[in-house]
Amino acid sequence: MSLFLEIEYLLGVVFAARSPADDTPDWPPQPDRIFSALVAAWGGRGEHPDERRALEWLETQPVPEIDATAGFPRTAPTVFVPPNDPETRRMGDLSLMPALRRRQPRRFPAYRPEHPVVRIIWRDALPDAATMKALNALAGATPYVGHSTSLTRCHFCQDASSVNPVPARRRVYSGRLSELERSYRSEQRPNPGDEVQGDRATVALAPTGIFSDEWLVLEHLRGEMPDLRAMALVTKVLRNAFMAGYERAGLGNSVPPMLSGHTANGTPLAEPHAAIVPLAFLGAPYADGSVIGFGVIPPRGQNFLDLAGFRAALRAIAPLSGDHSRREIELVGDGFRFTLGIGGTPTRRSLDPTPYVTASKIWATATPIVIDRHLKESNAAGRATEMERLVRRSCVNIGLPEPDRIVLGKHPAIEGAPSAYPSHGAPAWMGWRLPTSLASRRLTHAVLHFSEAIRGPVILGAGRFVGLGLCRPLHRSEPDA
């Protein structure tokens, strides 16, 4: 049995920096930060001996795992705030007045997770009844973790579930409570907990596929964006626009095969090449699948800005906007015309590639997989088995191990994603629009369970280069999961 500490961030946002010198938000919350919050609660409750014993028991437990969703960092502008209350010991000192107190620059790094509940998991930790009672008394008296505006609800339990735990980056150790006491009494900032050795290497060694986690992100600025189900056609127009940039720049004979997907003689490229995927409002309550922009994804180990002539091609098709903050490209196709921005700071959460490039044991399709070949089986059971086999092979085709378990179906497990095909009698526009070469193929949504965490991007099937088969981690319990 394992010990779980569940932390719910009541405002849906976390204010915490990794260190005073680092503006990077500290997400997910690390054991040393959580332990310090429990110690502060112990001090505020009167330093009861039984609660001290519970803290000393907790600090001796092995390094826990953390089950937390991805999200996105919020911008942290510089603000000017007064320092702590001064003690001048002078009568009539006007600098004590709020309006006249000096200000110092501060930044408050913040992170908005997809799901505001985090679970800290100590495997095989079995506290006795008295320890468990004391731990929950401390958890109930912990109003925040991190900055005082990161309001929390905390609770220890032993019967809970975890979907995608990852190792902690920092840990506590025997004697940490006494160390925090000494720092408090000497009015010194405590040192952070110990770094967990080998964690970065473990993450770096997580299996990954052929696609890079360094994306070129394009944001929808204006004009009517087509429905997500038409994105396979839109991404082809966007790829053609990039290649047209080479023509305009006088580099028509130098289009990289990695971008075009074809060799010099026009045959399909056998090696990995660029994929273009829609970035849509998905995976959150009230998600509606609206497309916010696009991610242009090179093969792993490559970067578009390093391609010969790519910068010149980009300048040819995407001039600087009026305020010179970003380049803009107008995309025109069959029934649509809209403008995309390249560069600058994306303004919407759905443009953050982080959910697609993190590590997870469970992945689910945001856009349906196009089965690699026509099905040969005629009965329903045989076709289901054949489709599962082909989806397994599609994982291997992009360099991933085979999943332990696959759940296929018409409907997605990701909120906001459209079904793989419309209901009987529905109008044609409710189906996915595919390029001619894929038009007769079968589409399916999938949930993939791997035996170990897989690092994204995960893009599967015959439509993987035009935005189909795009997967996201599935972080919470679903009927399909």
How does pLDDT run across 311-330, given as a tens digit for each residue?
Answer: 899 999 998 887 657 889 99
291 and 398 part of one domain: yes
Nearest to residue 288, comparing CAs of 225, 345, 242, 244? Answer: 225
Q: Distances from the Cα of 62 to the Cαs of 28, 65, 258, in angstroms?
A: 18, 10, 46
Contact 404, 392 (CB under 8 A): no
CA distance 460 to 467: 9
CATH label of the domain that carries residue 163: 3.30.70
64 and 174 part of one domain: yes
Q: What is the number of other CB atoms lying within 10 angstroms of the CB of residue 141?
A: 16
In-domain check, residue 479: no
Order of strands, sheet of 14-15, starting from the edge strand that comes earlier in the sequence:
14-15, 110-113, 71-74
Burial label for 427, CB within 10 Å (0-12, 13-18, 19+), is exposed
Question: Alpha helix locations (H) across 205-248?
Answer: 231-248
CA distance 332 to 337: 4
In-domain check, residue 162: yes
Q: Side-chain half-sphere of 306: how many Cα atoms within 13 Å? A: 8
191 and 224 part of one domain: no
Nearest to residue 39, comparing CAs of 213, 177, 186? Answer: 177
Tell me, what's the pLDDT at 201? 43
CA distance 403 to 392: 7
CA distance 216 to 329: 14
Boundary residue ending a domain (204, 233, 257): 204
Boundary residue ending a domain (146, 175, 204): 204
187 and 243 part of one domain: no
Burial label for 206, CB within 10 Å (0-12, 13-18, 19+), is middle
In-domain check, residue 91: no
Boundary residue ending a domain (140, 171, 204): 204
CA distance 274 to 214: 12
CA distance 418 to 400: 26
- What residues have CB less than 8 Å from 45, skipping those under 6 apart? 51, 137, 138, 141
Each residue's pLDDT tens digit in the chain (481 positions)?
Answer: 789 999 999 999 898 887 666 667 888 999 999 999 999 999 999 999 999 999 999 999 989 999 988 777 765 556 566 666 555 555 556 565 666 666 666 666 888 888 899 999 998 888 999 999 999 999 999 999 988 889 999 999 987 776 668 788 888 988 899 989 988 887 777 888 887 765 444 445 578 899 998 899 999 999 999 999 999 999 999 999 999 999 998 887 888 888 888 887 878 888 888 999 999 999 887 899 999 999 999 998 888 777 778 889 999 999 888 765 788 999 999 889 999 998 766 667 788 888 898 888 899 999 999 999 888 888 989 999 999 999 999 999 999 999 999 999 999 999 999 999 998 888 877 899 999 989 889 999 999 999 988 889 999 999 999 999 999 988 644 444 4
In-domain check, residue 295: yes
CA distance 284 to 278: 16
In-domain check, residue 478: no
**Residue with tokens 């003689």, as numbered in its chain:** 265
137 and 244 part of one domain: no
**Residue with tokens 């560069």, as numbered in its chain:** 343
143 and 284 part of one domain: no
Tell me, what's the pLDDT at 39? 96
Strand partners, 38: none
298 and 244 part of one domain: yes
CA distance 124 to 64: 10
Question: Alpha helix locations (H) across 216-342?
Answer: 231-248, 257-260, 310-317
Quote the domain boundaries for residue 146: 3-83+96-204
Residue 426 identity (one-letter amino acid): A
In-domain check, residue 303: yes
186 and 231 part of one domain: no
In-domain check, residue 88: no
Q: What is the pLDDT of residues 153-186, one digit of tens each?
A: 999 998 777 666 878 888 898 889 998 998 888 7
Q: What is the number of other CB atoms lying within 10 angstroms of the CB of residue 420?
A: 22
Q: How many domains does the chain have?
A: 2
Backbone angles phi, psi at 471, to 5 degrees: -115, 155
**Angle at CA 109, nearest 5°, toward 103 and 115?**
145
200 and 277 part of one domain: no
In-domain check, residue 209: no
Q: Side-chain half-sphere of 52: how many Cα atoms within 13 Å? A: 11
- What residues have CB less than 8 Å from 414, skipping those under 6 apart? 282, 283, 364, 365, 366, 472, 474
Structure tokens given for 58: 């907790």
Cα-to-chain-centroid distance, residue 122: 24
444 and 307 part of one domain: yes
148 and 269 part of one domain: no
Identify the helix (H) or strand (E) that includes residue 168: none
CA distance 12 to 5: 18
Identify the helix (H) or strand (E) that includes residue 182: helix 176-185
CA distance 265 to 457: 30
179 and 54 part of one domain: yes
